Homo-oligomer: A and B are copies of this chain.
Amino acid sequence: MNIGFVGLGIMGRPMASNLIEAGYVLRIYSRTAETCRGLAALGASLCDSPASVAAESDVFISMLPDTSDVESVLFGSKGAAKELLPGAVVIDMSTISPSATMGFAEKLSAGGIDMLDAPVSGGESGAKQRTLSIMVGGKREVFERCLPILRAMGKNIVHTGPNGAGQKTKLVNQVVGALNLLATVEGIRLARASGLDLPNTLNAVASGAASSWMWANLGPKMIAGDFAPGFSIKLQQKDLRLVQDSLQELGLAAPATSLIYQLFTRAVEMGLGEEGNQALYKLW
């Protein structure tokens, strides 16, 4: 089976590499030839556009920063859609707008092409270790057909509903994660201002009703002043912007979610975009 892969950033590169390791034949494209070199050495074929990737692919995977990037890779002048044959499957693993995703799926379906939205959670380390959580929207039958491919990249793989449901679930995940991160930031700020021993506090709070992945994993980094990105402020802010769009479409009030969007936007404003999301701690 031939797989096309477009979007070879921090996440896309290790994911593509895991596919090659699992025995898939890969055709790839990137605007910066540089990023393709390692994968080419592993046997991936370099193409000069998304369309040329698509021309010989049974499955076309995209892993891109934002909605507009996916739109142009699929439907732009050198986009994949015009070259994919009926029966092909597009798997978009980017985190983008759920409503745009539903539109893309409908457009592709007119040409006999199926789509899965399959955004991931777990960051660079999850991509490298094949432990990504993958939330998948689309037809169950297509999901099951593509499961071996997804299993080459992740672990907790859940079919969450029809097209768009993967993205919707990812946005829920991002709301909860970002607010747990804010809980960690305000908790550690209070502990520090109260004069508490910080490692001791991390330990005392870690095992009860206040425990979270964010507290356990990013709390120690905040205390140590380690702001290297596992997941960046910039991308977290982008995800929360998608959430704001959804809240507006749904007419839903969510005061804490609105607050955290403001705070991440302020962090980007302050030039912290490339730092890890735990750099939210630097806001004050």
**Which residues of A line the B interface, CB within 8 A?**
98, 121-123, 126, 133, 135, 156, 158, 160-161, 165, 168-169, 171-180, 182-184, 186-191, 193-197, 200-201, 203-205, 207-215, 217, 231, 243, 246-247, 250, 252-257, 259-260, 263, 284
Given contacts A207-B156, A208-B133, contact A179 B186 (CB under 8 A): yes
**Closest B residue, CB atoms, query A253:** B284
Count this chain's copies in the assembly: 2
B-side contacts of A201, CB under 8 Å: 160, 169, 172
**Closest B residue, CB atoms, query A182:** B256
B204 close to A173 (CB less than 8 A)? yes
Given contacts A158-B200, A161-B200, contact A217 B209 (CB under 8 A): yes
B179 close to A180 (CB less than 8 A)? yes
- Judged by DSSP, the binding face of A is helix
Q: How far is B219's CA from A282's CA once the two chains are assembled, in angstroms?
A: 30
B-side contacts of A195, CB under 8 Å: 161, 168
Q: How far is B246's CA from A200's CA once the two chains are assembled, in angstroms?
A: 20
A210 close to B121 (CB less than 8 A)? yes
A254 close to B175 (CB less than 8 A)? no
Given contacts A183-B176, A256-B183, contact A158 B203 (CB under 8 A): yes
Closest 4 interchain pairs by CB? A179-B183, A177-B210, A212-B212, A176-B187
